[in-house]
Chain A
Amino acid sequence: MSELLEQFSAPPLIELESDLEALRKHAQKVLMQHGFPQRKTEAWKYTPIAALERRDWSSDGPDESAARTESIELPFDAHRIPVHNGQIDTSQLNEIDGLHIEPLRAEQIDTSAYVDHDPSDAFAWLNLARLEQGICIRVTHTLERPLALQFSSSDQFKQAAHPRIRIELAEGVEATLFEQHRLHGSGLINLVMDLQLAAGSSLQHLMQRQNDESALIARTEAQLEQAAHYQAYVLDLGGALTRQDLKVHLNESRARTRIHGVAALKDKQLVDYHTAIQHRVGPSHSEEDFRILADNHSMGVFNGRIHMLPGADDSHSDMNTANLLLSEHARINTKPELEIHAEEVTASHGATVGQLEEAARFYLRSRGLNDAEALALLKFGFAAAAFDALESEPLRQWFTDRLKQAL
């Protein structure tokens, strides 16, 4: 790991203003002190970071080769923000009413939640340590069209990039954020996203990923004020290594969140979901449902954590994770945690790991489907349930179509 650390801790290329530079220095210090997560680091127990070490990070300089001009398809018209090889391009967003884009300032970076006494948050620190381009998107009015963050990388992409994006929703604003990833090459995108939801605002955050060998380590942290509403739907259809930390802080009363996700994995793909929902004040409400289908030699990980702090009275939380193991070489590791420090709350979680019922397959075959069709239908039924709660019909359709194709 030391070589990797050396490569990552080389001085950044672009000089930043002094406050940001100080933050960057501090992050470098923390990173050098604790290094990257090891097998014994609880939060990274199932994410094989060592695989990154084996990669060839030696080629330096940004990849300027013929950019893979893949335009990622979207089912609707949107305000697009392409992020190619980690470079955020906001040129298509000029003078849009209610949308303000500015460079990230030091006071907009909150590291108070980052662990600085062990390597648990090493990649969040790394993002800061290598910070070159960060943006803040402020949404002051409800937008007509959704925002689309489209991450891509070219086949020759071998580097590590550390984009940082902050999105602020003003009071009462409603927005839809589409986050798509089509990463090629063999690099690393180490993304940090901070979402700020002011009182009464509502964000629908849709994530869809279909990567190759490139690794993605993403940390999304949402802060919700009074009666704010954050919904996230995730669909992962592959990627050699995808790690998604999704942290939602329900900071004020009547804040609520729903996070649902599906990962359909094959070959040697790996998806590791680490979610944490913090109920600071009651009443607040959270609901979580993650479904993983692991085939071939793939591995699916779900670590969900519900944390009710003293004062979160009258809050309610439900967490569910269902997993299908479809091959004798695949692995599922799951850990749904509850940490409750308030009395007047209800919290529950359920977790299952298993395979499809033989009886159900037999029933479908007796109705004329062949085995492959029966299997695909059952897998689809199992996974698609996570998108049932998606209110927008076209969006739901788009998600389920993608899922159907993948299965």
Chain B
Amino acid sequence: MSQTQQQVEQLIQSRYKAGFYTDIESETVGAGLNEDVIAMISAKKEEPAWLLEWRLKAFHHWQTMVGPNWAKLKLPAIDFQKIHYYAAPKQENRPKSLDEVDPKLLETFDKLGVPLHERARLAGVAVDAVFDSVSVGTTFQKELKEAGVIFCSFSEAAREHPDLVREHLGSVVPYRDNYFACLNSAVFSDGSFVYVPKDTRCPMELSTYFRINARDTGQFERTLIIAEPGAEVSYLEGCTAPMRDENQLHAAVVELVAQEKSKIKYSTVQNWYPGDENGKGGIYNFVTKRGDCRGDDSRISWTQVETGSAITWKYPSCVLRGDRSAGEFYSVALTHNHQQADTGTKMIHLGKDTTSKVISKGISCGKSQNSYRGLVRMAKRADNARNYTQCDSLLIGKTCGAHTFPYIESANPTAKIEHEATTSKIGDDQLFYCRSRGMDEEEAVALIVDGFCKEVFKELPMEFAVEAKALLEISLEGAVG
């Protein structure tokens, strides 16, 4: 018995494998937020003047706003003046290629299993690696350039492609959108920029890996993906942070622009540090993700596997503006110990014959709280629009909570909306069956949970599906018994 107890404890401790810290000399701006800090971030990134102006406008607006309190989250007040808004590994000059990047940094990403260096190029995924506030390198840039695809860090895009950035930045998520998006607009550091030209299918999967390393910093990345008419792109995003007793803030904004007949697939495996088993530490994850299906017949698909973060506040949305455009949202959110997640999606149907599909799977263990919050809105002009939503929750343990808050608004009689939701625990008969076939309880639970999430996992690109499944199994360890 005691041995089992010990094993379980070991397992819980081994749960977060990305919790190490990289000891690297870094350059950090003093804590606090004011106009000087914003001007400094902008100067560091050698940004054009209009961008600084935009940041300051956002900052002034943010000062007039109050944080949202409608989510089902217990959240202590965040002291925004205690956060460092910029941290970057020290380097004399900007590295021109991966060879010039500090080996310690490459080692970090190597340890995290992110293919930055040559030999890992065999994996065939172009990667942009973001360490604290800066991008340390982007692979495959040459090959992508040949196809006409631009894939680089956001800072580089602001310098090299200012017109594209200026045209689209804030066009999907305006800086006034919400409290955290507004904060991000003022202080955003790095992120990825993707531009896929007309009738081009991006020749490989694109991926960004975000790593928070420095203490007391926040990460505020901004990602912008533009798919021109007929373009297609699949983008993956992963993230981790060291284990620390203090909470750290992550407030990102992702904007997707899908023109006529284009397709964007955006997958996330979110594995920020969730805090320890007593709820100490962990990342506060406040993210605004929105895709705009601007053109007719365009398509945006969000897939997310959320296992990390102490607090998740995230609603990847689709604005279905073009006729016959389609939005999809597939989500698995697992919460354990004291984690809290309030996540879901918004599907705003504006165009005719638009369709959307929402599949959400929530798993709550330990003392965690897991909420699905979604909106489906059929505007007056959305003739023959269709939506199907399914959200299922699984409860593992007596002290956790699973909640569903779906908003359904329809102003068009020809639109059809179907919503269904269930909440239950793992059936004793299912467990008994698995155990009678020789599995122990933990294996049985993992198998059943895997089956419960199958509809979402099958939407993930192959490499991510394997990772997501493994991550879920690790996250479930110690949840039973």
Contacts and interface: CB of A to CB of B under 8 A. Distances in A.
B168 interface: no
Contacts of B421: 336, 338, 348-350
B410 A331 contact: yes
Interface string B391-419: 00101111111111111111111111111
A327 B409 contact: no
A105 interface: no
Interface in A42-95: 42
B413 A334 contact: no
Interface stretch (A3-11, A202-210, A216-224, A351-359): A351-359
A141 to B, nearest CB: 41
B415 A353 contact: yes
Contact of B406 (A340, A346, A351): A351
Given A330-B413, A335-B406, A353-B417, A343 B422 contact: no
Nearest to B401: A341
Nearest to A330: B413
A98 interface: no
B458 interface: no
B412 A337 contact: no
Contacts of A313: 398
B454 to A, nearest CB: 20
Contacts of B409: 331-334
A325 B385 CA distance: 13
B401 A353 contact: no
Interface in B163-198: none
A340 B395 contact: yes
Contacts of B117: none
A348 B407 contact: no
Contacts of A355: 413-414, 416
A344 B425 contact: yes
| Chain B residues touching A, range | 35 or more
B26 interface: no
Contacts of B411: 330-331
A348 B422 contact: yes
A286 to B, nearest CB: 13
B335 to A, nearest CB: 13
Interface string A308-346: 001001000000000101111011111111111111111
A328 B420 contact: no
A353 B403 contact: no
A328 B418 contact: no
Contact of B408 (A334, A340, A346): A334
A135 to B, nearest CB: 37
Contact of B398 (A42, A332, A342, A351): A342
Interface in A353-375: 353-355
Contacts of A42: 70
A24 B378 CA distance: 44
Interface residues of A, number: 34
A346 B424 contact: yes
B244 to A, nearest CB: 30
B403 A337 contact: yes
Describe B's contact surface by its main secondary structure.
Answer: strand
A104 interface: no
A336 B419 contact: yes
B379 to A, nearest CB: 11
Contacts of B395: 340, 342-343, 345
Nearest to A326: B413
Nearest to A334: B408
B380 interface: yes
A348 B403 contact: no
Given A310-B399, A332-B409, A335-B407, A354 B380 contact: no
B398 A325 contact: no
A327 B414 CA distance: 9
Q: Which of B410, B416, B417 has the most CB of A within 10 A?
A: B410
A297 B406 CA distance: 24
Contacts of B81: none
A349 B413 contact: no
A343 B417 contact: no
B410 A353 contact: yes
A122 B434 CA distance: 53
Contact of B400 (A338, A343, A345, A346): A343
Contacts of A193: none
Interface string B374-391: 000010100000000000
B13 interface: no
Contact of A325 (B405, B410, B423): B410
A347 B423 contact: yes
A340 B402 CA distance: 5
B385 to A, nearest CB: 10
A106 B407 CA distance: 38
A225 B404 CA distance: 27
B420 A348 contact: yes
A226 B404 CA distance: 28
A327 B401 contact: no
A337 B401 CA distance: 13
A340 B412 contact: no
Contacts of A325: 410, 412-413, 415
Given A333-B408, A335-B405, A328 B413 contact: yes
B410 A332 contact: yes
B393 A340 contact: yes
A349 B408 CA distance: 13
A341 B397 CA distance: 10
Contacts of B405: 335, 337
B423 A338 contact: yes
A354 B416 contact: yes
A351 B419 CA distance: 5
Contacts of B378: 353
A331 B417 CA distance: 13
Nearest to B399: A310
Contact of A337 (B400, B404, B410, B422): B404
Contacts of A346: 422-424
B303 to A, nearest CB: 24
A313 B135 CA distance: 50
Contacts of B417: 351-354
Given A334-B409, A338-B423, A340-B403, 15 more contacts: A310-B398, A313-B398, A328-B412, A333-B409, A334-B408, A335-B406, A337-B406, A338-B393, A340-B393, A340-B402, A347-B423, A349-B419, A352-B417, A353-B416, A355-B413
9 contacts: A335-B407, A336-B404, A338-B403, A339-B404, A345-B425, A346-B422, A347-B422, A348-B423, A351-B408
**Lowest 7 A-B CB distances belong to which pairs?**
A325-B413, A354-B416, A351-B419, A353-B417, A338-B404, A348-B422, A347-B423
Interface of B: 70, 378, 380, 393, 395-425
Interface of A: 42, 310, 313, 323, 325-328, 330-355
